[in-house]
Amino acid sequence: MAVHTGSAGLIKIGANTVAEVTAFTLETTADVIESTELSDTSKTYEVSRKSGTVTVECAWDETDSNGQIVLQEATGVTLLLYPEGADSGDYFYTVPAIVTGNSVSVTMDDLIRLSISCQINGAISRGTV
């Protein structure tokens, strides 16, 4: 069994790595439609459409013009999510998305944090480096 720690993950936009990423979440869902007949004793369902979201957490870096600055609300972007890093053989996800929001959090005695919310906008593909 292969397991991985969260210390190698990264996000790219094209060839550019988004700076100071501290966490990201890819959440996918599939809608279902009930197809139960009146005489059935158990419910049945059919798969419908898939959707999902991506959330990116960063230490704020206003100089990251090819990463954090690109991820502004209402922007369409293709995210490359690398959960285990970007070494040969590692899996990654190609995710078309629309940035739906940014949240900047300032707390005393902590780094300034940026949270970026995205809506998946199409099909996700999974490949290897």
Predicted confidence (pLDDT) per residue in 32-88, tens digit: 999 999 999 999 999 999 999 999 999 999 999 999 999 999 999 999 999 999 999
With cut-offs at 50, 70 and 90, classify the pLDDT of residue 8: confident
Distance CA 20, CA 82 (A): 14
Residue range 101-112: mean pLDDT, rounded: 96
Q: Which two tokens stand for residue 93?
A: 């996800």
**Is the predicted pLDDT of residue 2 greater than 80, yes or no?**
no
- 94, 124 Cβ separation under 8 angstroms: yes
Using only C-alpha atoms, what is the Rg of the chain?
18
DSSP string, the chain: -----TTS-EEEETTEEPTTEEEEEEEEEEEEEE---TT-SS--EEEEEEEEEEEEEEE--TT-TTTTTT--TT-EEEEEEETT-SSTT-EEEEEEEEEEEEEEE--TTS--EEEEEEEE-S--EEEE-
**Is the predicted pLDDT of residue 98 greater than 70, yes or no?**
yes
pLDDT of residue 111: 96
**Is the predicted pLDDT of residue 4 greater than 90, yes or no?**
no
pLDDT of residue 63: 97
Question: Which pTM was predicted?
Answer: 0.89
pLDDT of residue 1: 61
